[in-house]
């Protein structure tokens, strides 16, 4: 067992995950597209926002509890949908779903997961959401939606910013595939990751569980880039969102919104929430950070639809900053993946504990005991983005 008592921040988990996860899968998570300028801005723009410290205020009775799309959560954080989670650690989606359930936050399963919807449903709690990519095979998409409904997923997260795949240089250079191809370079790297190898040998889940055996005419899904280019539908439009909403019949969250005009279209679609997101800097390089884009979107539609955000969140302080700027939910991707890669389910729990502690403590230092009362008044003037 890994001793996590000395782990004090998400960066500690990242360092440990880098040692334990094969290079191609570590790089898949910890990378952006093209020059990675947007990937870096997602974090650095958070750092430029400064708090106002308040003193001599009663800090007892603090609570970070709230709701996301009407569901109670311990804090305004959900685990983001991340592809290949089960390649960071054996049965990774199951482990992450268990940790989220125990902590009281939602877990969102990616279409491109290793563990299937049915696998995860056996272990997830009420806050089990499913993220949908729209593919050319609409019959498959209908069946995928029906499977998510049958599994009891409480919301469908429709990702709109991956009609085509951004150029991710590390994935190309690493020859990303699942499972890894037995090249000399891969075998040498795997020889340095005995814990990971042992876990993978002990599970049968090493392919895309939601897709393998379910898509007609697809014989090889090991090359993620090639398969994505062939199957993801570049014709995706708002009419498709309406069709999906009718088929699903439940709560809808639209992911990938970066401009107020698209946020208004999300409102018109009848969605329950939208996620301000640049896909973690993995799609359009040169786009603004998600936290910079957030205020204008909140100003445009915040009273008509619940606004969430992801991309760049590495701490509880980041969560508090996003909340104060109007996000009523946030999503962590890399932060929980690093915990997973470092120590499996216990590592994901540790990541959530770290973020919750940082959120709670910072809220108190800013003079608040209830997250619902936090607004832009916690910031020093001129240091935060405005709409």
Tell me what pLDDT residue 231 has.
80
pLDDT-derived band at 217, boundaries 50, 70, 90: low
Q: Does 159 belong to an annotated binding site?
A: yes
- Residue 226: inside a domain: yes
8 A C-beta contact, residue 292 and residue 385: yes
- Please, which pLDDT band fits residue 227 given cuts at 50, 70 and 90? low
Query: How far is the C-alpha of 345 from the C-alpha of 312, rounded, in Å?
Result: 22
- Confidence band of 228 (pLDDT split at 50, 70, 90): low
Give a yes or no: residue 251 inside a domain.
Answer: yes
Q: In Å, what is the CA distance from 375 to each residue of 42, 197, 288, 380?
A: 21, 46, 23, 12
The owner of tokens 């445009």 is 300
C-alpha dist (Å) from residue 249 to 145, 153, 242, 263: 10, 12, 11, 21
Range of the domain at 239: 10-378
Q: Is 67 annotated as a binding residue?
A: no
The SS3 assignment for 189 reads helix
pTM reported for the whole predicted model = 0.96
Within-domain flag for 2: no
**Domain with 237 in it: what CATH number?**
3.20.20.70
Give residue-wise pLDDT tens across range 266-310: 999 999 999 999 999 999 999 999 999 999 999 999 899 999 999
Across residues 257-263, what is the average pLDDT?
A: 98
pLDDT of residue 214: 78
Per-residue burial over 287-296, b if 16 or more Cβ lie within 10 Å, else e, is: bbbbbbbbbb
The DSSP-derived string for 260-293 is: HHHHHHHHHTT-SEEEE--GGGTSSTTPPPHHHH
Residue 340 backbone dihedrals phi, psi, to 5 degrees: -65, -50
Residue 333 assigned ligand-binding role: yes
Predicted pLDDT at 139: 92
DSSP line for 103-127:
HT--EEE-TT-SS-HHHHHTT--S-
Q: Is 170 annotated as a binding residue?
A: no
How many domains are contained in the chain? 1
Distance from C-alpha of 345 to C-alpha of 354, rounded to nearest angstrom: 14
Q: Is 311 a known ligand-binding residue? A: yes
Rounded average pLDDT over 163-184: 90
**269 marked as binding residue:** no
Show which residues are catalytic: 279
Q: Is residue 139 part of a domain?
A: yes
Q: Which residue has the tokens 């973020």?
A: 355
Residue 222 has pLDDT above 80, yes or no: no
> Is residue 4 in some structural domain?
no
Domain assignment of residue 384, yes or no: no
In-domain check, residue 5: no
Question: Which of 23-32, 213-222, 370-379 has the lowest average pLDDT?
Answer: 213-222
Residue 312 annotated as part of some ligand binding site: yes
Q: What is the mean pLDDT of residues 225-250?
A: 87
pLDDT at 215: 73
279 is in an annotated binding site: yes
The answer to whether 282 is annotated as binding is yes
Mean pLDDT, the chain, rounded, equals 95
Domain-embedded: residue 1 = no
């Amino acid at each position: 067992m890994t001793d996590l008592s000395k782990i004090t921040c998400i960066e500690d988990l990242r360092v440990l995950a880098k040692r334990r996860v094969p290079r191609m899968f570590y790089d898949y998570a910890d990378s952006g597209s093209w020059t990675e300028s947007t990937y870096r801005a997602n974090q650095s723009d958070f750092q430029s926002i400064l708090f106002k410290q308040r003193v001599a205020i009663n800090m007892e009775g603090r609570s970070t509890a709230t709701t996301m799309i009407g569901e109670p959560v311990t804090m305004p954080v959900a685990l983001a949908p991340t592809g290949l989670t089960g390649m960071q650690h054996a049965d990774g989606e199951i482990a992450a779903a268990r940790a989220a359930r125990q902590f009281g936050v939602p877990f969102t399963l990616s279409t491109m997961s290793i563990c299937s919807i049915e696998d995860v449903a056996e272990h997830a709690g009420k806050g089990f959401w499913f993220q949908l990519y729209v593919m050319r095979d609409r019959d498959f998409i209908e069946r995928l939606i029906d499977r998510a409904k049958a599994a009891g997923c409480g919301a469908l997260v429709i990702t709109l910013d991956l009609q085509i795949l951004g150029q991710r240089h590390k994935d190309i250079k690493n020859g990303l595939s699942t499972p890894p191809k037995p090249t000399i370079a891969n075998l040498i790297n795997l020889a340095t990751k005995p814990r990971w190898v042992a876990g993978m040998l002990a599970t049968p889940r090493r392919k895309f569980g939601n897709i393998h055996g379910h898509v007609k005419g697809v014989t090889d899904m090991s090359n993620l880039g090639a398969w994505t280019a062939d199957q993801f539908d570049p014709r995706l439009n708002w009419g498709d969102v309406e069709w999906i909403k009718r088929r699903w019949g439940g709560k809808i969250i639209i992911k990938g919104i970066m401009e107020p005009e698209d946020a208004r279209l999300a409102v018109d679609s009848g969605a329950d929430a939208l996620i301000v997101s640049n896909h973690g800097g993995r799609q359009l390089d040169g786009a603004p950070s998600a936290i910079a884009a957030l205020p204008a979107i909140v100003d445009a539609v915040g009273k008509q639809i619940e606004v969430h955000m992801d991309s760049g969140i590495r701490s509880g302080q980041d969560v508090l900053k996003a909340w104060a700027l109007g996000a009523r939910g946030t999503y962590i991707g890399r932060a929980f993946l690093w915990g997973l890669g470092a120590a499996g389910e216990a590592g994901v729990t540790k990541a959530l504990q770290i973020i919750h502690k940082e959120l709670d403590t910072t809220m108190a230092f800013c003079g608040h005991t209830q997250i619902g009362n936090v607004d832009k008044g916690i910031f020093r003037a001129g240091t935060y983005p405005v709409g």
